[in-house]
């Protein structure tokens, strides 16, 4: 009898079923990861509602686990062994293109799951591609040789290490893309887990003034933002965010804006253009899906000599720094790790991140063996 495992399978829009699978054979150039924690992110909320693109799939792309059944070639090539606690990147790169050599796996053509049906990305890849264990809402995940792993530093719990994805995005977008550093002024729009991680990145880098915006339903999150080191928070439904930002910065405006709102698209972009300093500010935007908007004030943007950048995942280095800053214990991570769910509660976990399940969610963890 072969060993079995359980996984939460997305079988249709916003529909999940628990299903049993055979534990796959593991060739010498592969390994399995026994899942400890799969973080749920805002992208899961939007992806979950969409129809399937092929066969059902196992979601979960922010994965921390313990290596098991590590093949001999895998061990030799990667320097990992059974029992190692690792963070798995959701990109599965070709391994030999220019981007991969720079650790910029997110730009590798092989990770372009949206356009290429053969591209594998953890949490987005269907059972069509064998052996199907491509998502973290499962007891085990399959690791081919090109899986990208990071060692979880000693002293960091799997749940804390589960923050590596939003934290690495925060470092990438705020520090590497936004250029935030010592004495910078920063406006972070949206106090979800991603906004909180941008805030921690900016704080750690020595930013002088960090302003975080949210709506009235974010009251608790804005309190948490303050506890994590925000200098000011703005409820955009009760106050004029532009007026307040200018007031806080002595009329100057901020150096950098990072948009971490989900779906506030137009308003966030327009505020960002106006809230940056007179010349040379930078705005990092999400622009989800096929977002467009009419009357984009591009003249205003160029008149201010602004730089517009795209928030698109993270580099290898950003993940290493994320694990480092999480392990530094400089921030009270407990305040953002709000919920834990088992495998049978994946549907509710995703809905909670989307504001429709358990109240007060910031970072939500699925613990498949719970």
Asked if 104 is part of the footprint of Zn ion (rule: CB under 5 A), the reply reads no
Asked if 248 is part of the footprint of Zn ion (rule: CB under 5 A), the reply reads no
Asked if 364 is part of the footprint of Zn ion (rule: CB under 5 A), the reply reads no
The minimum distance between CB 87 and Zn ion, in angstroms, equals 13
Q: Which two tokens stand for residue 303?
A: 């008149």
Asked if 41 is part of the footprint of Zn ion (rule: CB under 5 A), the reply reads yes
Q: Which of 73, 97, 145, 246 binds Zn ion (CB under 5 A)?
A: 97
Q: Which of 6, 75, 94, 145 binds Zn ion (CB under 5 A)?
A: 94
Which one, 16 or 43, has the nearer CB to Zn ion? 43
Q: Which of 24, 32, 43, 78 binds Zn ion (CB under 5 A)?
A: 43
The minimum distance between CB 292 and Zn ion, in angstroms, equals 23
Asked if 93 is part of the footprint of Zn ion (rule: CB under 5 A), the reply reads yes
Region of 16-24, 88-96, 245-253, 305-313 interacting with Zn ion (CB under 5 A):
88-96
The minimum distance between CB 299 and Zn ion, in angstroms, equals 34
Compute how many residues bind Zn ion; rule: CB under 5 A.
7
Report how far Cα 50 is from the mean position of its chain's Cα atoms: 19
Distance, CA of 18 to CA of 96 (rounded, Å) = 37
Which one, 43 or 172, has the nearer CB to Zn ion? 43
With 0-12 / 13-18 / 19 or more C-beta atoms within 10 angstroms meaning exposed / middle / buried, residue 298 is exposed
Which one, 70 or 188, has the nearer CB to Zn ion? 188
The minimum distance between CB 93 and Zn ion, in angstroms, equals 4
3-state helix, strand, coil in the chain (%, to 5): 30, 25, 45
Q: In angstroms, what CA-CA distances link 221 with 23, 189, 319?
A: 41, 12, 24
The minimum distance between CB 346 and Zn ion, in angstroms, equals 15
Region of 105-113, 190-198, 252-260, 338-346 interacting with Zn ion (CB under 5 A):
105-113
The minimum distance between CB 260 and Zn ion, in angstroms, equals 12
Q: What is the largest CA-CA distance in the chain?
A: 71
Report how far Cα 71 is from the mean position of its chain's Cα atoms: 29
Asked if 100 is part of the footprint of Zn ion (rule: CB under 5 A), the reply reads yes
**296 DSSP assignment:** -
The minimum distance between CB 221 and Zn ion, in angstroms, equals 18
Query: Which residues fall within 8 angstroms of residue 218, CB to CB, at 6 or more apart?
Result: 191, 235
Burial 89-126 (b: 16+ CB within 10 A, else e): bbbbbeeeeebbeebbbbbbebbebeeeeebbbbbbbb
Asked if 286 is part of the footprint of Zn ion (rule: CB under 5 A), the reply reads no
The gap between the terminal CA atoms of the chain, to the nearest Å, is 25
Distance, CA of 357 to CA of 340 (rounded, Å) = 13
Which one, 94 or 335, has the nearer CB to Zn ion? 94
The minimum distance between CB 39 and Zn ion, in angstroms, equals 7
Structural contact between residues 214 and 237, judged by C-beta atoms closer than 8 angstroms: no
Region of 38-46, 139-147, 232-240, 280-288 interacting with Zn ion (CB under 5 A):
38-46
Asked if 262 is part of the footprint of Zn ion (rule: CB under 5 A), the reply reads no
Query: Which residues fall within 8 angstroms of residue 309, CB to CB, at 6 or more apart?
Result: 173, 177, 178, 282, 283, 284, 285
The minimum distance between CB 324 and Zn ion, in angstroms, equals 20
Asked if 108 is part of the footprint of Zn ion (rule: CB under 5 A), the reply reads yes
Per CB under 5 A, contacts with Zn ion among 299-328 are: none
Binding site for Zn ion (CB under 5 A): 41, 43, 93-94, 97, 100, 108
């Amino acid at each position: 009898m072969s060993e079995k495992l359980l996984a939460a399978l997305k079988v249709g829009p916003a529909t999940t079923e628990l299903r049993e699978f055979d534990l796959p054979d593991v060739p010498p150039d592969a390994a399995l990861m026994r899942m400890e924690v799969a973080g749920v992110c805002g992208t899961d909320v939007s992806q979950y509602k969409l129809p399937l693109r092929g066969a059902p799939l196992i979601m979960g792309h922010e994965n921390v686990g313990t290596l098991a059944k590590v093949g001999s070639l895998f061990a030799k090539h990667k320097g990992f062994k059974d029992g190692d606690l690792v963070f798995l990147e959701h990109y599965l790169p070709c391994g030999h293109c220019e981007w991969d050599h720079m650790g910029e796996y997110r730009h590798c053509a092989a990770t372009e799951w949206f356009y290429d049906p053969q591209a594998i990305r953890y949490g987005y890849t269907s059972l069509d591609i064998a052996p199907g264990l491509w998502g973290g809402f499962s007891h085990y995940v399959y690791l081919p040789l090109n899986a990208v792993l990071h060692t979880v530093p000693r002293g960091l719990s799997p749940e804390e290490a589960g923050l590596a994805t939003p934290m690495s995005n925060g470092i990438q977008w705020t520090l590497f893309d936004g250029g935030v550093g010592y004495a910078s002024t920063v406006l972070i729009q949206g106090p979800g887990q991603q906004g909180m991680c941008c805030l921690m990145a900016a704080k750690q880098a020595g930013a002088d003034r960090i302003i975080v915006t949210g709506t009235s339903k974010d009251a608790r999150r804005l309190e948490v933002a303050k506890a994590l080191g925000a200098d000011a928070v703005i409820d955009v439904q009760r106050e004029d965010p532009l007026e307040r930002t200018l007031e806080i910065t002595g009329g100057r405006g901020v150096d950098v804006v990072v948009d971490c709102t989900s779906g506030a698209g137009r308003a966030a972009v327009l505020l960002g253009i106006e809230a940056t300093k007179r010349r040379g500010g930078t705005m990092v935007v999400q622009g989800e899906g096929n977002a467009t908007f009419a009357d984009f004030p591009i003249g205003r943007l160029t008149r201010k000599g602004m730089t517009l950048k795209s928030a698109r995942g993270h580099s290898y280095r950003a993940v290493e720094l994320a694990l480092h800053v999480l392990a530094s214990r400089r921030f009270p991570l407990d305040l953002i790790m709000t919920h834990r769910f088992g495998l049978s509660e994946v549907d509710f976990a995703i809905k909670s991140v989307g504001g429709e399940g358990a109240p007060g969610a910031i970072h939500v963890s699925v613990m498949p063996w719970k």
